[in-house]
Amino acid sequence: MTAESVEITLVTLEGVRLGEVIDEFSTLLSSRADDDAALERLAPNPYPDDEQASQEFVAAMRDDLLDRRLADADTVRRALASFDAFRATMTDDDALHAHTLKIPRSEVDAWLRTLNAVRLVLATRLGILEDDDHDPEDPRFGIYDWIGYRLELLIDAELDA
C-alpha cells in the first residue's frame, strides 16, 4: 500500500460479479423511475409533508443527486474493467485467481459511497429495515452480506494506508 492509493484484493469471480452489480446499479440510476422505492431511498424527499416543497426539491436536486451517484458508480466500474475479459471465458482456475486493485485515494470515497448505496438498494429490495430482517434461507441476502464485507474491507484498507 502507498500513500497515494489503497490496495484491495479481489478474486476474478468477485471482480466480475461486482462489475455486474455496478452495471445493474448504474442502470437503475439511469432509469430515473419516479415510483422506485430504491431510488427514493438514494435521494430521499426531505419534505414528505409539504407537497410544493417536495416538488421543488425533486425539480432542483433529485437528478443532481442521482447524477453524482452515477459518476461514483462509473469510477468504480472503470476500476473493475480489467475483469470484463473474464466474463465469457472464466475457467475454474481463473475464478479464484487473486488480483490486487490499487484505488487512488481520490477515488476511495466514490467506492465507499457506491458500495453503501448498493447496499441501500438491496436493503430496499429485500425489505430490510433492521438488522433482524435477515433471512438466512434467502440466497439474495448473500450479495447484501458480501457487499457489506467488501465495504468493511475497504474501510479497513483505507484506515491502514
pLDDT in tens, 25-46: 999 999 999 889 999 999 888 8
pLDDT of 131 over the 80 cut: no
| Confidence (pTM) | 0.90
What's residue 65's pLDDT?
A: 94
What's residue 59's pLDDT?
A: 80
Task: Report how far residue 5's alpha carbon sits from residue 83's, in angstroms, rounded to the nearest whole number.
Answer: 19
Calculate mean pLDDT across residues 42-57: 88
pLDDT of 98 over the 70 cut: yes
pLDDT band at 3, cuts 50/70/90? low
Calculate mean pLDDT across residues 132-161: 88
Name, in order, each residue with C-beta under 8 angstroms of 114's C-beta and a sequence gap of 6 or more.
22, 25, 69, 72, 73, 75, 76
pLDDT band at 119, cuts 50/70/90? very high
